[in-house]
Amino acid sequence: MTSRQGFRIELAPTLEQRTRLGRHAGLSRVVENFCLEKVKAAIEQREAEKTYGIPEKDLTPIPWSAPALERMWRLEHRDRYRWFTEEGLSSRVPKEACRVRAAGFKNFFDSRSGKRKGRKVGFPDWRKRKHGSRFRYDADRARPEAARLVRMPGVGKVRTLEDMSWLTDRIADGHARVIGSTVREQAGRWWVSFQIEIDRADINERRTVPGDAPACGIDVGVKTFATIVDDDGTVTELHAPKPLKAALRKLRRAGRSVSAKQRGSSNRAKAVKRLAKVHLEVANRRADFLHKTTTMLARSKRAIAVETLNVTGMVANRRLARAISDLGFGEFFRQLEYKAQWYGSSVWAADRWFPSSRLCGGCGTINRELTLADRVWTCGCGLVHDRDVNAARNLLEAMNLEQNAA
C-alpha cells in the first residue's frame, strides 16, 4: 500500500544556477498574474455583456480551469513574453503555475459553498516579489540523479547539501516515485521539496510501536506544552522551546534595521536577508521540536487521547495569540495523526466541548468556576487536582470508556 509523503532537501546551487532558479521563480509569478488578469478581464467582459442583454449561454466564458489558462498562455506568451523562449526557461513551470492558480479559484468557490473545511479563503490576489520566490515542476521532471545531485529542467544538475540516499535507493528499487516538486527560496537559501508516492511497509514494520506500549492522554497548554499521563500512572511534562519568544529582541532589531534603510538600496536588501534569516531560524527550531516530539509519541504509545482545540478561536484572543502561534498546536496534532498511522498507533480526539480540565476524575463533578489562572483546584469530594494532569487523565479515561463500549 502506497502513501504520499514529502521529502525536503537544501540545494547548493552555483551563482549561475541561483540566477536561473530566480528567473524560474519570476516566471511562475508572471504566469500566475497572467492567469488572474485573464480571469478578471473575462468577468468584467461578462458583466458588460449582461447590460447589452446577451443571453447567459452566449456570454464570454471564464477560464477557471488549468487547461483553459494554459491554452491562453500558449497563445499569447510568444508576443507578450518573448524572454520566456529566448532565455530557455522550462515549459513545465508555466504549466504548474496555471494549475496553482486554478486550484486557488477552486478553493475560493469550495470555501464559499462550504465544501472546503477550515477558515474562509478569499479570491486569489496578485502575486508579488515580496511574497517569496517559488515555483513547481510536475511529475518527476525534477528528480534526484544521485545521492547528492538533483536534475532540474531549465537549471541543470544541482548539488545538494544533504545526502538523499534514503530516497534514491527507494526510487531505484521501485518503492517510491516522484509525483511533483516545489522549489523555494528562504533567506537566500534554496530548497526543493519532492512530493513522493512511497510504499512504507518495510519502514513502518521496523519502527512499529510495541504491543505492550502504554496508552496515554495528552493535555496541551501554553505554560507546559504537553502533559502526558500514561495508563500506568506515569506523568511526563514536555516544555516547548518557544523560539519566537526567544528571538523577539533579535527580530525587533532586524526589523528596525530594515526600516532605517532606503528602499531599493543594496543595504536594505542585505537587511531584509538578515531579517528573513532570523525568521527561518525560528521556524526551524519550532519544526525540529514538533517533529521530534510527535515521532517519539507515535513510536512509544499504542493509543493517544488528545483534545480538540479551536486554535483559530484561541488565536483571536490578542493576549494569547503570539504564545499560541509560537507553540504550533495545529501542526502538532496534524503530525501526530499521520505518524500514528505510520507506526501502528492510534489517535483518539475528544469532542471540542469535553470538559477535560473541569471534570473531577473521582466523583465526576464539573467545576464550572474554574478559570485559566487556576492551576490547582480542590473538588467538593476532597480530591486536589493539578489542572493539566487531571485533564490528561480524563482524556485517557474517556478514550478507554469509548473503546471498551465499542
Q: Which of 219, 351, 369, 374 is catalytic?
A: 219
Residue 276: closest CA among 170, 78, 88, 132: 132
Which residues fall within 8 angstroms of residue 268, CB to CB, at 6 or more apart?
258, 261, 262
388 is catalytic: yes
How, if at all, do strands 176-186 and 156-159 pair? Answer: unpaired
Q: What span, in angstroms and rounded, lies between the C-alpha atoms of 30 and 24? A: 10
Label each residue of 278-299 as H, E or C: HHHHHHHHHHHHHHHHHHHHHH
232 is catalytic: no
Q: What span, in angstroms and rounded, lies between the C-alpha atoms of 335 and 340? A: 8
HSE (side-chain half, CA atoms, 13 Å) at 370: 22
Q: From residue 380, give the alpha-carbon distance in Å to each of 96, 134, 361.
A: 63, 59, 12
49 is catalytic: no
How, if at all, do strands 215-220 and 303-306 pair? Answer: parallel
Residue where the block lists cell 470538559:
355
Q: What span, in angstroms and rounded, lies between the C-alpha atoms of 187 and 393? A: 43
Q: Which of 32, 70, 307, 326 is catalytic?
A: 307
Residue positions counted in the chain: 406
Q: Which residues participate in catalysis according to the annotation?
A: 219, 307, 388
